[in-house]
Amino acid sequence: MKERQYLQVYQKVTRLISMVLDHQQVMDVVVRELPELLDIDAATIRLLDGSTNNFVLGAAHGLSLEYLSRSMIDTEETMEMIRSGQPVARSGIGQGQELSERDLAAREGIRSVLTLPILFQDALIGILRLLTRSERVFSEEEVSFSMALAEQVGIAISNGRMFKDMESQVDFMREVQEISALVNSTLDLDLTLNSMVEKLPSCMGAKGCTIRLLKSQKNHLELVAAHGLSQGYLDRGRIEGEKNISRALRGEMVSVYDVAHDDRIDFGAEMAAEGICSLLSVPLKVGGEVIGVIRVLMDVHHSFTSTEIKFAETVAEIGGTAIQNARTYRKITLLFNQLEESERFVANILNCIRPQLLVVDRDMRLVLANHALLEAVGRSEAEVLGMNYHELWNHDDCQVDQCPVNRVLSDGEPSTYTHQIMKEDGVHWIERTASPMHDREGLVEYVIEIIRDVTAKRRFEEEQLERVKLQGVVELAGTVAHEINTPLFAALGTAQLLEDDIEGSDARNEVATIVRNLRTIGDLTAKMTRMTGFESRDYVGDTKIVDLK
């Protein structure tokens, strides 16, 4: 009868396995069905993570999250036997374990456990654990049956992985073509990066993705693109010190199944708050040199398959080339922009001096004149080119003995001359500056003269001088008022006391007059402290006084 029941269970499980191609579904169904079929309380499946050589939870039923999250799965002796491919049945759970592990087992009520290796082609790929909350000694038949069942689970997991890998390979190949066409269709670096972080999560069923590029001068990873993640998570801090990042920067692919309990992660709490369970760190390379890191982030616990890792690596290679092309294009564009900016800068400089500019040779013949100068002298370019420099000007405009061009030609040093001319709106100040251009022998070959109207500058300087004078007067008035106020207030206080104490109307009136005059002086000193300006006016004879403002 027992053998018949085992056969029925075996057939049911194998039939179920043959119908389900997704190994995650297989694991979920097995851990839910086995407790009822084998009269046990709970079941778990843990898969071997090749990157850490640790067993990570794949599926579970009948156990608390606290118990499933414990750091130690079983004793080291048991795990060594499992790694060698042998099943282990134990009763009286808690003995030989750490105190914390015994407490967890006691709180969970676990009394017996049958731990079975999940093998495929003699390679360990996981473990199946059957747990009871009552003392139970697993018979040889139960162990043999469970071992056979574990082998079927291993076949199912491997077949599911193989089928999913084949299916993923086809999908990923199509996605690689699309991503390649997408990132190579533009030389815009930002568009390339954003396309990658949007496409990768979509292809791999991930929560989000980030790209960080290495700033070699600062040894700092700069976040350049992100998708599917909150700004608070992205701003959590620098991640260069994380072990998974360090390994990725050395060119290694890093897969982390459980970010909350992996020492290769520094921001486990922040990741848990963001809903991230697993991640894949992919080095971003150009010509064998790592230029950054791509991280694919999952919101479920996920063991990345070799196909997924290869797909991410291929996308990273495509992205690295596209980034390099975009960077090169950006540099070329920047160079052209700098050249254009330099041309505009030179043009702006010329425009600044264009109001009046001319160039004469050592024979005082004009070889260049701008439009502003031509307008000033009222002549055309054809008329002035080749003309003697002094024929351009009236005597009042440029006196020969003061001419800066003559000075430059005589001593080879720059020269400046400022003079006044009359215009319809009054007197204008004109500044003429001449600079030499030397030939290879150091002789003056040409002279450049720039003519500016500096009237506004002169008037501003005069206004500034007036402001300085006014400020001096204001400060002096304030100082005088302060010096007067001290004895004034003392005298006023004394006079007021006398006014109250003195007897006799004549004397009282005289003291009142003194008090009134002292107050008038006080008003005057207060006015002096508030003074912001003044104007002078005639007083008596040649004397002038000021009215305070």
Token pair belonging to 100: 């914390």
Helix H, strand E, coil C: the string for 91-158 is ECCCCCCCHHHHHHHHHHCCCEEEEEEEEECCEEEEEEEEEECCCCCCCHHHHHHHHHHHHHHHHHHH
Helix H, strand E, coil C: the string for 507-519 is HHHHHHHHHHHHH
Q: Which amino acid is at 312?
A: A
Dist. CA 3–CA 169, nearest whole Å: 42
Worst-scoring range by mean pLDDT, 9-18, 24-33, 309-318?
A: 9-18
Contact 43, 129 (CB under 8 A): yes
Predicted TM-score (pTM) of this structure: 0.43
Q: The tokens 């005589």 sit on which residue?
A: 410
Dist. CA 278–CA 270, nearest whole Å: 13
Contact 546, 537 (CB under 8 A): yes
Q: Is the pLDDT of residue 289 over 70?
A: yes
For the chain, the 3-state helix, strand and coil shares in percent, each to the nearest 5, are: 50, 25, 25
Worst-scoring range by mean pLDDT, 106-110, 238-242, 254-258?
A: 238-242
Domain 184-331: give its CATH superfamily.
GAF domain (3.30.450.40)
pLDDT in tens, 371-430: 888 888 888 888 988 999 888 886 556 666 778 898 999 889 999 888 888 888 888 888
DSSP state of 388: B
pLDDT in tens, 159-214: 776 776 666 666 666 666 676 776 667 677 788 888 888 888 888 889 999 999 88
For the chain, what are the domain ranges?
Answer: 2-165, 184-331, 357-453, 459-548
Q: How confident is the model at residue 305 (pLDDT cuts 50, 70, 90)?
A: confident
What distances in angstroms separate CA 347 from CA 36, 342, 344, 351, 446, one per listed residue? 88, 8, 5, 6, 21
Q: What percent of the chain has pLDDT over 90?
A: 11
CATH 3.40.1030.10 fits 357-453, yes or no: no
Q: What percent of the chain has pLDDT over 70?
A: 83
Extract long-range pairs of 455-462: CB within 8 Å, 24+ residues apart: 455/427, 455/428, 455/429, 457/429, 458/429
Dist. CA 41–CA 181, nearest whole Å: 53
Say what the pLDDT of residue 445 is: 92
Q: Which residue did the predictor score with more confidence, 319 or 406?
A: 406
Say what the pLDDT of residue 96 is: 47
Q: Report phi then psi at 445, rounded to 5.
A: -100, -40
Contact 303, 255 (CB under 8 A): yes
Dist. CA 172–CA 158, nearest whole Å: 20
DSSP for 513-547 reads HHHHHHHHHHHHHHHHHT---EEEEE-STT-EEEE
Dist. CA 254–CA 295, nearest whole Å: 9
Say what the pLDDT of residue 437 is: 92
- In three-state secondary structure terms, 258 is coil
Extract long-range pairs of 213-216: CB within 8 Å, 24+ residues apart: 213/284, 213/291, 213/292, 213/323, 214/249, 214/290, 214/291, 214/292, 214/293
Contact 320, 291 (CB under 8 A): yes
Which residues, listed in sequence order, are joined to residue 448 by a DSSP beta bridge?
Answer: 359, 435
Say what the pLDDT of residue 60 is: 92
Say what the pLDDT of residue 214 is: 85
Contact 279, 234 (CB under 8 A): no
What residues contact residue 200 under an 8 Å CB cut-off, 6+ apart?
A: 206, 209, 294, 296, 312, 315
What residues contact residue 259 under an 8 Å CB cut-off, 6+ apart?
A: 265, 268, 271, 272, 276, 277, 278, 279
Say what the pLDDT of residue 361 is: 93
Q: Is the pLDDT of residue 268 over 90?
A: no
Q: Residue count of the chain, please give it.
A: 549
Do 357-453 and 2-165 have the same topology in CATH? yes
What distances in angstroms separate CA 222 from CA 97, 240, 262, 265, one per listed residue? 45, 10, 24, 18
Q: Which residue did the predictor score with more confidence, 457 or 542?
A: 457
What topology is assigned to 2-165 in CATH? Beta-Lactamase (3.30.450)
Contact 43, 128 (CB under 8 A): yes
Worst-scoring range by mean pLDDT, 205-209, 450-454, 490-494?
A: 490-494
pLDDT in tens, 31-90: 887 787 778 899 999 888 776 678 888 899 999 988 888 877 877 888 888 888 888 888
DSSP for 395-429 reads TTTS-GGG-HHHHHHHHSS-EEEEEEEEETTEEEE
Beta carbons within 10 angstroms of residue 178's beta carbon: 13
b/e map 99-127, b = 16+ CB within 10 Å: eebeebbeebebbbbbbbbbbbeeebbbb
Q: Which residue did the predictor score with more confidence, 327 or 292?
A: 292
User: Between the ranges 263-267, 327-331, 543-547, where is the mean pLDDT highest?
Assistant: 263-267
- In three-state secondary structure terms, 254 is strand
